[in-house]
Each structure stands twice: as C-alpha cells, then as structure tokens.
Chain A
Amino acid sequence: MKKFLKNIIGFGIFALIGYSIIMFIWSSSIPFESFKKNMKYVRGGNGHLYTRLQELDTVSNIDILVLGSSHAYRGFDPRIFKSQGIEIFVLGSSQQTPFQTLALLKSYLQDFKPKLIIYEVYPGIFQNDGVESSLDIISNEPLNWNTVSMALKVNHLKTFNVLNYDIFVEALGLKKYYQEPLIKDDERYVRGGYVQKINVKSTIQQNHTVSNYELQKNQIDSFEKIVALIKDNDYPLLLVQAPITQNLYNSRLNNSEVDSLLSTQAQYVNFNDLMDLSNDFFYDSNHLNQNGVELFNKTLINWLRTNGL
C-alpha cells in the first residue's frame, strides 16, 4: 500500500507538470481551433479587452467607472460623456458576469478612484456560468491572484486549461509582444473602453422564447460582494439596466422581480422603463446602435444631473 500511495502521489505530480507542458506545446503549435477544443486562449478577445486593459495604465482621474458586459462597453460612449465634461472609463468585457466583475474590481478599483461607479446589470449575465468571460479575462489580463481566484470560482475545465496556458505565457513574457489592432472586423476601439460598431448590419431577432430570468445563486453572491466592496471603499454606486429591444425585454416575465431584487442593493435605474426605443435604435436585440447610444447616454447624463450624482 505504501508503494502504491507513493506512486500515486508521484504520478499525480508528474502528470500535473506533464499535462501543463503538453498543453502549452500543443496549444502553441497547432493552428486549428477544433484541435484544441477545451483551450480557448482569446488574446484580444471579443470587445478589445486587451487594448482596454492596456489603456488602464494611462487612465487616471476619471469621474465615472462603468462596469458590466458588452451592454456596458457597447452602450457607454466616453466621447458623448466628455462632450458634457464628464470623463468615464468602461471596464467591461464580453458576457462579464459578477465573478469577473469582482476579479477586475479587486485588481483595479484603487487605480481609478472614480467619483461614481455605474454597474450595468443586464439580468441575463446572472444566468451565465461565466466561463466564456473568464477565458477572455485570463487571456488578456496580467496574471494575478484575483484572476486565479475567479478561475477557481468558475470551476470549469476550459478556464483551468486557459489559466494553465497563461501561466506559461506570462512566465515566458509572451504577452507583452501582442499588439491588438484598434479596428477589428467591423468594430473600432474608442479610447475610454468603448467599442463602436462600424458598417452596422441589423440582426434584430423578432421572436424570443418567453421565459423567466433564472438568476444563479453564486452569481448573486458575487454581485453582493461587489456591492459590499464598493460601499466599503466609499464609492457611490448606481446600478443601471441599459435598454434592450422591447421584444426581448417583454419576453422575460419576471422583470419586476429582478428590479425589486436589484433595487435592494443600491440605487437602481432601469432604462427600459424610462426610454421607449424602437428597433431603429438597435443593431441587435441586446445592443444599441450609435444613434441609440447617443440617446441613451444623453438621457443618462440628464438623469445623473437631475439626481445630483
């Protein structure tokens, strides 16, 4: 038995190291995505996360820090806010769930010292397991304990594989050689963390399955930790739900329950109730087009001024 246990432990350590090395060599040398099914290292990623995180080093003295998913980085245009004398930075990433928001906040909150934090809380993100967004963040953020902690919380094979790969990338100093173009596909990165669609083709879905939002308990727990972290650091917090198409919004039956839940955590505004936007202001069911962003941002700025924020 002693020999068996000794060998099991020995093999366990050997396999852990061997797995990591094979994973790195395989993933670095094979170009086809389907040949590395559970290793999705997305440097640059969706929504210019790499560039956004690089820009962080040059950002200081901002008025508003915006957090959230693509609803945030596609919905808050820093140029519109700047024209009104407000400096904002959007720390968003694709499908960012509270797991990732918490990790990013822990890493960067002290660098910003904003006057206000706006957290875009589209309820759909509370349904998400957070895997895709975790891959995005690990691939683009410098390795730190908050990222590792987030990976453990997401607890998914793909996340662990990407984290493992990232350790090699960091150790070999490969991350710094990456340059992300400011225009990718049909999207342009705008300083301040915004991503603008160019050559917009509308893909609005007319019919959505009628259902309830099923909010995951662990995401709610992380959300509460985010709120507590912000409050502990004495930053004012505003929870915002950016507009989505009426069809999508009305297809969810428990909007009022979600509103009630969110409003218990901090000041909360649901712009789906305040603005009645037609499909002309969206490029897909979830995201505003540039005209929609302008209208939404101006309405938000007015709301902030009216409410003394």
Chain B
Amino acid sequence: MLFNSLDFVFFLPIVFGLYWFVFMGNLRLQNALIVVASYVFYGWWDWRFLFLIFLSTTIDYIIGLWLERSQNSVRRKALLATSILVNLGVLGFFKYFNFFLDNLQSAFSFLGFEINTWSLSIILPVGISFYTFQTLSYTIDIYRKKLSATNDFIAFGAFVSFFPQLVAGPIERANHLLPQFQKRRQFDYAQATNGMRQILWGFFKKLVIADNCAVYVNQIFSDPSQYSGSTLFLGAILFALQIYGDFSGYSDIAIGVSRLFGFDLMKNFAFPYFSRDIAEFWRRWHISLSTWFRDYLYIPLGGSKGSKPFQIRNVFIIFLVSGLWHGANWTFLLWGGLNALYFIPLLLTNSNRSNLDVVSANRFLPSLKELIYVIVTFTLTTLAWVAFRAENVIHAWQYYAGIFDLSFFTIPVGLLSSSLLMLLLLITFFICIEWLGRKNEFALEKMLLNSAKMPRWTFYTFLIFLIGMFMQTEESPFIYFQF
C-alpha cells in the first residue's frame, strides 16, 4: 500500500480508530493490531513475501532469547553468525544473486572462458533491506549486551513490521523503538498534531516537488545525448531535489503517522542540502542508515582510529557498502566511491567534523562564505547523484561527458517554458520553507505555531491547495521502495 494512495486514506483512520477507541488500555491488543495492520499494509503490495518478514521476525526473536540466556562466548558467536547469515543470506539472494552471476560470467568471459550460468527471475521484496537491517541491529545489540532480549513475541513482531516505516525506514534501532512497544501509550495531543503537520509536509515534498521533478528527470535521463550540458546539469539538480523530496517526504509521512499512534521514530533527514561539506551532508542524509553503518560496520572496522591509510580504507569500505546496500548495480558502487573521494580531503585535513551545528544558526541569511560552501557541497552531491540515477556505468559516463561539454554554457532546453518556470517557483517556495525551518525536526514543526489559528490553518490549507493543484494525478511509488 502506498501512502499516496486512496487505499491508505481509508486504511489509516480505520487503524487509528481501532487503536485508540477499541483497543485503548490493552497493550497486547494494540500491538497485535499493529502487527495485523502492518501485514495487511505490506500484503496489499504482495502477500507472498509476508513469510519473509515472519521468518526474519521468528528467527531473530528466538536467537535473541538464546543469546540472552547463553554465557558461552563461542555459542553466542555462533548464534550471532546464524542471525547474520540468515538475514544477509535472504537479502543477498533476493537482491544480489543475479548480479553476482552476471558479473561472474563477465569476469570469466574477460579471461577467455565461456561459462553457462542461469539466472532466476527474482522479484525484490519491498523493504527487505530496511527490515533486515532493523532486525540485525536487535541481535547485534543483544550480543553486545547493550540490549535485553524481549519475551514478548507480539511486541517484537510489531517492532519488525511497524507499517509506517516497514518498507522504507527510518531503520530503527531496537533499543530505541522496541521499548516503546513495551510500555503503555497515552494519546498526546501535541505529538499527534505535530505528526499531522509532518505528514502534510511529507506529502508536499513527495507529490509536488519530487513527482513534478520526476517528469523532467525521466525525460532528460532517458536519452542524455539529446541534451546540452546545461540541460543535463539541470536534470541532475532536479534529480537531487526529486530524491530528497521523495525519500525525506516518505520519512516525514512515516514519522508523522507513527506520532499519531504514540511512537517516536528517529529523524532520518536534517536539511542535508544546507550542508557546508560532504561530511556534514552525510550526518544529515538518511541518518538512520548512515548511523547504522557507523555503529555496526565503521566503528568495528576501527573507524577513525589508526593511521590515515587505515582510515581512508574504512571510509571507502563504508561508502562502497552503503552504495551496494542500495542495489545490485555498479552505478551504486560508483556513487559510493565518488562520495568517498569527496570525503577523503576532509579526513586528511581533519576537518570532517568542523560543521556540526546548523548553518547560519544565529542569522536569517547565510554569509557569502557559507553560501559558497553550501552551493559547492550541493553541486558535488548532485554530480554523484548522476551515477545513482543512471541505468548503468556507460549511461552515467555519457551523462557526465554531456555535462562537461561546452554546451554547458548554453541556456537549458525548455527553461523558458511556463511549466518549468512554475516548477522552479514551487522549488523556490519549498527551499524557503525548508530554510526557515532548518533548526527544527522538520520544516513545518514550529512554523506559525505561535500565531493565531486562522493564519496557521490558512497556511496549511494553502499547502493542501498546492498539492491539489500541482500533484501528478497518476500514483507514483516512492524511489526507495526498490531498495
């Protein structure tokens, strides 16, 4: 089920009503309702893959209990290895099996050997990368004795399958979300209204910004050879905005919906395009995944300790694995590699933690220096997104070659059209609101909150109007569903 579908418009109030009015006061029943609703939500897309969620839930629940009870370090290691093998094995099969075979065949062919491989027609289950990482964090944290295993299978099932964040995150840590399933929830007016505001802003980002950018992005990326360098660069910028609007919009809706049910999910985006360097960008982009890799891969590898070559190795590993997490394609590795390259100068000059606060924290507008840093960082990120969006490495190369051409200094095709002008105005409005709200959890969190009800409601209504006037009328899935 998509958030931006009519089905969800009916689904959400029904589950909300049952949750607060019918099962209020009974924690187990509320959790059971969440499990059932989550399985319905997921099964709406494809019920056949529900067994994978159930399998992952059951195995990690049992392993969690065994890990808790066992004091034998060899046995504990074996249990953790089993959890990792099963989870990554399932993920690997569905996501990387054909990629592995194709590349194996290419490698042998390159060496002069022809081998016959076969490939399977494998459908990637939606959200598998998200819930797999979420359950892995549970067993790893128990192994590290940072978390106690739960005896409550229903609460654990609800933690794994919680429908707002099941298919595209945020990837929650067990020690943050699981306890919330184990304590009585009270309806909180402030939390719920905050959730509604976040949902509204999430829909605006997705339906108005991302989906409208997608129209131009799809057209420009479909055949880069037809466009000038300036148009290709414009296409890359629009993709940067599309993927931000799409993914952070999804996260906002997920977090907002969770708030309606009394849950607090972790922040996934913190205005990343206002970052002054790449390190800051990665502290603000897809935070739940970045911190997952930091805690479960980067730090165990040694992190920023040790010699510079050792640190550089770790940075490359983390970015390449992060790229590969997105999908079985060399383009994602290229995207990860580019980001690692951007990061290295900061690491070598020990300046990767120089921008920890919000840009222009005490000023309304940025200084010229900050503005230049923000623009440079955005440009670098945008160029890396080209690899992320490209069909394959050759396509990405053609796109880059097209950008770095003398035609970069021409006026982009179609820039003078009124439809693109309208999109640019919407983007300007969007950036202004994001800038004004950059110190908060999400842009609308505190906007007009201290003003009277009438101007506040009028502003929200205006946002709804913009959605109604400019959204694409065909349903389009969220980009991160494919990961």
In the complex, are the beta carbons of B422 and A7 less than 8 A apart? no
In the complex, are the beta carbons of A19 and B468 less than 8 A apart? yes
Give the residue of A3, A4, A32, A37 whose beta carbon is less than 8 angstroms from that of B469. A37
In the complex, are the beta carbons of B187 and A156 less than 8 A apart? no
A residues near B419, Cβ cutoff 8 Å:
34, 37
In the complex, are the beta carbons of A38 and B465 less than 8 A apart? no
In the complex, are the beta carbons of A7 and B193 less than 8 A apart? yes
Compute how far the CA of A156 lies from the CA of B458 in the bound complex, rounded to whole angstroms: 24
Name the residue of chain A whose CB is nearest to the CB of B20: A1
CB of B418 within 8 Å of the partner chain: yes
CB of B473 within 8 Å of the partner chain: yes
Known: A19-B465, A38-B473, A158-B473. A3 touches B418 (CB 8 A): no
In the complex, are the beta carbons of A37 and B422 less than 8 A apart? yes
Name the residue of chain B whose CB is nearest to the CB of A8: B196
Name the residue of chain B whose CB is nearest to the CB of A37: B470
In the complex, are the beta carbons of A38 and B469 less than 8 A apart? yes
CB of B108 within 8 Å of the partner chain: no
B interface, over-half SS: helix
B residues near A108, Cβ cutoff 8 Å:
none
B residues near A111, Cβ cutoff 8 Å:
none
CB of A215 within 8 Å of the partner chain: no
Compute how far the CA of A3 lies from the CA of B458 in the bound complex, rounded to whole angstroms: 19
CB of B153 within 8 Å of the partner chain: no
With an 8 Å Cβ cutoff, the count of chain A residues facing the other chain is 25
With an 8 Å Cβ cutoff, the count of chain B residues facing the other chain is 23
Name the residue of chain B whose CB is nearest to the CB of A15: B461
Compute how far the CA of A22 lies from the CA of B469 in the bound complex, rounded to whole angstroms: 10
Compute how far the CA of A4 lies from the CA of B16 in the bound complex, rounded to whole angstroms: 13
Name the residue of chain B whose CB is nearest to the CB of A20: B465
In the complex, are the beta carbons of B422 and A35 less than 8 A apart? yes
Interface readout for A26-56 with B: 1 if CB under 8 Å, 0 if not? 1000001111111100000000000000000
CB of B62 within 8 Å of the partner chain: no
CB of A11 within 8 Å of the partner chain: yes
Compute how far the CA of A26 lies from the CA of B458 in the bound complex, rounded to whole angstroms: 15
Known: A3-B189, A14-B461. A38 touches B422 (CB 8 A): no
Give the residue of A4, A34, A38 whose beta carbon is less than 8 angstroms from that of B187. A4
Compute how far the CA of A203 lies from the CA of B339 in the bound complex, rounded to whole angstroms: 52
22 A-B pairs with CB atoms under 8 Å apart are: A1-B20, A3-B189, A4-B192, A7-B193, A8-B196, A11-B460, A18-B462, A18-B465, A19-B464, A19-B465, A22-B461, A22-B462, A23-B469, A32-B418, A32-B422, A33-B418, A34-B419, A37-B419, A37-B470, A157-B468, A158-B473, A161-B469
Besides A1-B189, A38-B473, 12 other CB < 8 A contacts?
A1-B187, A4-B192, A4-B193, A8-B196, A11-B457, A15-B461, A18-B458, A22-B465, A23-B468, A34-B417, A37-B469, A161-B468
Which 7 A-B pairs have CB atoms at the shortest separation, nearest pair first?
A34-B419, A18-B461, A34-B418, A22-B465, A32-B418, A15-B461, A1-B187
